[in-house]
Structure 1
Amino acid sequence: MKSVTVLGSTGSIGCSTVDLLLQAPERFAVDALVGGSNAVRLAEQARALRARHAVIAD
């Protein structure tokens, strides 16, 4: 299992990356998600991926 950190997870490319990670939970462990200002989306992603850390810039 690979450990992954997603920078910019709440942006368009980050959301696509999160979608891919959700399709293969047995292959990836999400260590951290980092987002800009969309706290609601970041929290949803962190719960769905069971991320160890969620960091928001704003």
Structure 2
Amino acid sequence: MITEMVTAAEIAAQLKMSLTGFRSLLNERDDFPLPTSIGIRKKRWKLSDVNAWINAQ
């Protein structure tokens, strides 16, 4: 099974906020899904986890 992964910019667009706003949300909320590191500075989130978090809000 292939898991679709999304970037911070894609999540910010889905939430209709700026990338800076999304990063602030990450610092303020401890219930947002944790990312997976795919490199030294690259992080991705599982789309299914992000969608579940959005639906729970």
Measured against the shorter chain, the TM-score band is 0.3 to 0.5
Give the greater-gyration-radius structure (CA). 2
Q: Which structure has greater helix proportion? A: 2
Normalising by structure 2, report the TM-score. Answer: 0.33
Structure with greater proportional strand content: 1
